[in-house]
Amino acid sequence: MQENLREGWGNLLREEGHISSWQLGALLGSFLIGTSTIIRPTTQAGRDTWLAYLFALIAGLAVAWLCFALTQRLEVPTIQGIFATLGHYMGAPLALLYLWYYLYLCALVLRKISELYVTAVMPETPILVFAGVIVLLAAISVWSGLEIIGRLAELFFPFIALAILISHVLILATPNLVHWEHLTPVLDRGIKPVLRATLSILTFPFAETILFANVLPFTLIQRNHGGW
């Protein structure tokens, strides 16, 4: 029993498992779908919100590419790379800020998911019950290791993507349900509201991909001539 506990605690302190590039994509897709559906950023772009999402997606891809490039260069998790690059005194504040961002997003998503269950499923159940169950499941997942999490994402993500695809097809196929004319006129209030909305949407959910920089060193990605 004590040997199992020591092994599990070691997994928490140092990840030894690896995941495939497909499992990484499934994790990232599930992560973005989950957070973007429960927390919708408020914007002032009006009917031009679709442009803000498009611009934020492009900027988010740039952030993801930057994470890949830095991880490939450093070949260590993000926090270790911060200390290796900036040293102890300059790296410590940035590492603490990175950890705070982790904790902030965890608390935000935990609160929103718990509120969703209380509002839509069991209104008379205390919110702490749902929050406790979610935290327990998260702790078990971390204890099990990255490989288990990657396999679960690989298993469930195709069903999630298929459900989203089918729902969108049904929406588009329903007569008089989608009114494309509501998208015009484009930029009737100028570009500034779109840019402000783009910044809001970029920070959540697209810029959250920076959190996956710690997972990239444990990903078995095929390389050709030194590239990802």
Note the pLDDT tens digit of each residue in 22-45. Answer: 888 898 888 878 766 666 655 677
CA–CA dist 138, 177 (Å, integer): 39
Query: Model-level pTM?
Result: 0.73
Please determine, for residue 1, whether its predicted confidence score (pLDDT) is greater than 50.
no
Nearest to 43, CA basis, from 208, 209, 207, 199: 199
Q: What are phi and psi of 155, to 5 degrees?
A: -75, -45
On whether the CB atoms of residues 64 and 209 are closer than 8 A, the answer is yes
pLDDT of residue 4: 46
Indicate the DSSP class of residue 19: E
On whether the CB atoms of residues 219 and 18 are closer than 8 A, the answer is yes
Cα distances (angstroms) measured from residue 168 to each of 51, 158, 173, 178: 19, 15, 8, 11
Please determine, for residue 226, whether its predicted confidence score (pLDDT) is greater than 60.
no
Please determine, for residue 211, whether its predicted confidence score (pLDDT) is greater than 60.
yes
Note the pLDDT tens digit of each residue in 130-164. Answer: 999 999 999 998 888 889 999 999 999 999 999 99
Instruction: Spell out the residues 6+ positions from residue 162 whose beta carbon is closer than 8 angstroms to its own.
Output: none
On whether the CB atoms of residues 215 and 27 are closer than 8 A, the answer is yes
Please determine, for residue 71, whether its predicted confidence score (pLDDT) is greater than 80.
no
CA–CA dist 35, 217 (Å, integer): 24
Place 185 in a pLDDT band, splitting at 50, 70 and 90: confident
- Percent of the chain, pLDDT > 90? 16
**Concatenated DSSP letters for 77-127?**
-HHHHHHHHHHHHHHHHHHHHHHHHHHHHHHHHHHHHHHHHHHHT-TTS-H
The β-bridge partners of 20 are: 220
Chain centre to alpha carbon of residue 11: 22
pLDDT of residue 162: 95
User: For 87-102, what is the mean pLDDT?
Assistant: 82
pLDDT of residue 43: 60
What is the b/e burial string over 94-127, where b = at least 16 CB atoms within 10 angstroms of the residue's CB?
Answer: ebeebeeeeeebeeebeeebbeebbeeeeeeeee
Residue at token pair 């402000």: 196
Please determine, for residue 190, whether its predicted confidence score (pLDDT) is greater than 50.
yes
Place 3 in a pLDDT band, splitting at 50, 70 and 90: very low
